[in-house]
């Protein structure tokens, strides 16, 4: 059960509406780095959480609900940036020099005309659950494995890419209100990265959580290979030395080493094609 408050989680101000920036903000809503992604990821992780303690489920629910507020802020920002956009797409370039530059091909990534069509015709100058190219968010990047440690690492990655996007958006605007909103969201991304890593620490840190799942008995692994870095240069050139090439493994259960990768199996030989498979006669043999 959820409750709502009509007030925004953090103020959203736009001093100079910019339809191009509205399109860019769509990536933070429905892109693979966006707020719909982390919101749904945390909800489904929480709804499927199992274990003797409910504190991780509760924590995920709190943060997932917070992310709804971030989606609301961004959707509001998109709508406010579209306030001065023309209601006729053909007038967009003339009405806004920046939009005109984008339509003329000066922007290396984005073309704004198609997005203006969508904002005008489908949403009435409002945000929608899609990325900056207009591709609807399809939930394909939601990671909820049922393994707490695996999910926490996925969450760190999600917040890291989200924070990177928010930083890029901040660098792309000169609007003080938009920068203020984004800097709030960047701060929350910082907290969430720390939050998920704190769960890993509670689970014993990498030594306790790794390998994931730690419930599988390592005695059943092929232990000859579980801490080897496979070097795959054809001429046998060793890889540059790194933390992963020598010394104790992060879980403290082994030693890293470098092994030149060599074939351990044989060339596969498949049987002939079946007569009813639609293959050529030469394949059926």
Q: Is 141 annotated as a binding residue?
A: no
CB atoms under 10 Å from CB of 163, counted, come to: 19
* Distance from C-alpha of 43 to C-alpha of 62, rounded to nearest angstrom: 9
Q: Is 117 annotated as a binding residue?
A: no
Total length of the chain: 285
Q: Is 133 annotated as a binding residue?
A: no
* Distance from C-alpha of 265 to C-alpha of 110, rounded to nearest angstrom: 48
Taking alpha carbons only, the member of 41, 101, 77 closest to residue 169 is 77
Cis peptide before 34 (omega within 30 of 0): no
Give the tokens for residue 141: 């990047």
Q: Is 96 annotated as a binding residue?
A: no
Q: Is 62 annotated as a binding residue?
A: no
**What's the order of all strands across the beta sheet hosting 255-260?**
228-231, 255-260, 247-248
Q: Is 35 annotated as a binding residue?
A: yes
* Distance from C-alpha of 275 to C-alpha of 285, rounded to nearest angstrom: 9
Residues annotated within the binding site are 35, 58, 67, 70, 159, 192
Residues annotated within the binding site for Ca(2+) are 58
Residues annotated within the binding site for Mn(2+) are 35, 67, 70, 159, 192
């Amino acid at each position: 059960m959820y409750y709502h408050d009509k007030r925004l989680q953090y103020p959203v101000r736009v001093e100079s509406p910019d339809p191009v920036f509205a399109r860019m903000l769509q990536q933070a809503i429905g892109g693979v780095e966006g707020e719909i992604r982390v919101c749904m990821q945390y909800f489904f992780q929480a709804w499927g959480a199992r274990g003797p303690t409910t504190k991780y489920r509760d924590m995920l629910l709190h943060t997932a609900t917070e992310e709804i507020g971030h989606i609301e802020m961004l959707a509001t920002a998109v709508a406010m940036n579209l306030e001065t956009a023309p209601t006729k797409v053909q007038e967009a370039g003339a009405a806004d020099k920046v939009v005109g530059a984008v339509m003329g091909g000066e922007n290396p990534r984005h073309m704004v005309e198609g997005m203006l069509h969508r904002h005008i015709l489908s949403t009435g100058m409002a945000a929608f659950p899609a990325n900056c190219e207009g591709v609807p968010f399809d939930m394909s990047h939601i990671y909820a494995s049922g393994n707490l440690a695996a999910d926490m690492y996925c969450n760190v990655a999600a917040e890291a890419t989200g924070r990177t996007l928010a930083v890029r958006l901040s660098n792309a605007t000169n609007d003080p209100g938009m920068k203020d909103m984004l800097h709030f969201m960047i701060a929350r991304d910082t907290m969430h990265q720390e939050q998920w890593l704190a769960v890993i620490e509670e689970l014993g840190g990498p030594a306790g959580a790794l390998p994931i799942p730690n419930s599988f008995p390592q005695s059943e692994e092929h232990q000859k290979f579980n801490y080897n870095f496979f070097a795959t240069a054809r001429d046998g050139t060793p890889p540059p030395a790194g933390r992963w090439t020598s010394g104790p493994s992060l879980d403290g259960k082994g030693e890293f080493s470098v092994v030149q990768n060599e074939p351990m199996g044989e060339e596969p030989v498949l049987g002939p094609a079946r007569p009813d498979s639609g293959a050529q006669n030469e394949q059926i043999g």
